[in-house]
A and B are shown apart, each in its own frame.
Chain A
């Protein structure tokens, strides 16, 4: 069988109809539904839940967290949203207690562990023999919204540390939360400072893709507006003759969807309307592949052997298996030896104890025998005494009887006196 590798383009002389392919693909996806998972990282009370509510124009979980969490926990909730014929399975993961502890050294670790756990779950499914990837509920985090406090100065150390640990695992989009506390000029300076700090520290945040002509221009512009300064609110107020989402202050009304007031609209545009699919693809093709490669290499699998020849996984597996079983056997032998040793020791101890017991028994027996002999002697003496006494008694009675027979009354009295 030979293959014609000359892939020359062919011109069609009429309408064939495969231009409906993108539609066929899209229809399949509509049928299956979409999955999107957002991770929100930010201090308690910074406005994460409100922003997500505003982004998706709905009311998610109401629960407000306390500030007294002992460590950082992640709470994930899944919702089913539908817009026209698109079903979206949206999972929101919140960091509960982030930034609340006195010692924040380990704050980022639970987050990293969670993201890794989702990759791990997918990897496990992919490596199964009987797998069902096409209806697998993908829980891998597609985007991480990192909420920066609107201090106006710079990034906090905790922020830098966390983002540095996450940038190779997830698409990070930093946002400046509660942006209505910063003035416009301060905001510009703040943004520049933030971006330069991120660049200086080598933090790779998500760049909106500019390789497709239809969206490259708008994406490039938006890249320049990062981080987005956002304000979230689900309360509606009347401004002019429309009801808009806004926050009311004594000095004015901050309108959420007004581009002059904050970058909320930009965030929604970029996150949902323009780049949702790209975020999902980057998560799968880049971050997940990196995780998979690292994990498999960690376990000792290689694509090329020591001579740089491609090694089939089968050979590596066989080698590993051989090694593993060798190790197993060695350990078994070791354990067996140890067991035998222990048994010997125990036996010795028990023997010793038995001997002691025996010695004690002998000793006691001897004592008992001695006691017995002594008792025997005493008894003999007593018996001898008793015999002697009885003899004397008999003799005395005889004498008495004789005396009584010769002098009855006087001797009686004398006897009585004598007896007293």
Chain B
């Protein structure tokens, strides 16, 4: 249980095979990797704040997974989790992030000027553009593990940092627990409000504890830059706007992130980052850039083309419905975003989205004219 090293030493009185979880019906990254021997090796370890291997894997034990979707099945409780439980996390990271090795280095590039183009995606097709990432604040444990005191401290520091922003980033914080009904309705209409997690993937990892204590939403007056506090990560940072100027979205994203980071660093609580894993976040799937840059784009013809999925794969992109992960597309409109997180930089990932979406819109126009797109199918990026 994620409250500190409670119960772990007591469990060591039992034999490994008595405690080892039954993963025979499981299909997630953790279950593929965690053998009895590995479990035996890791079970008497704990991070300095008391996070144990059972805490790491609980969500994966409780959620065997779907035969078609491969979930990660484990979370970190603090920055040190990725070190202390390296034996478990490294192979999972390798499997999830396209072969990323324990010796590989991750490049961070938040220089928006390095992005080529991206300001001319056709608004007749590209309805909206968005970039999101997460950030963890050094010196605090992560959402699966933190106590109420820590979570509140994270909120306090985050609010101080955010409310000190000015210019295009001037904005307001709305704590979840004291939001008025009017504020709530407004935030729902703006598609900003996040709700208490219902997904068992998150609740079994302890991330919904004490809801809504210490949680809130901050956004700038323009409603184009938005930060979630204490949901699945310490901070989720989102830049978005209607139509297809991804370049502007990314600019605002990078500038805003840098400004926020400077303020946290002044308080001696910079972001969790290292040169192997990049930005450290709760779920191993979000390591590296933690970045999902994407658009809502109309592709009614291309999406029914037999090679659509192959095209996406080669462009290193993924599709989702417009309701987000695990939803279906409505009216031929898809959410298209980068598939990679670790091993390439922010600029590189957004570049893939910009170039890939541009290409697919061209293909869609060709299909509208009844022409073939076979020659346009790209090589594997």
Chain B associates with chain A: no
Interface residues, chain B, CB within 8 Å of chain A? none
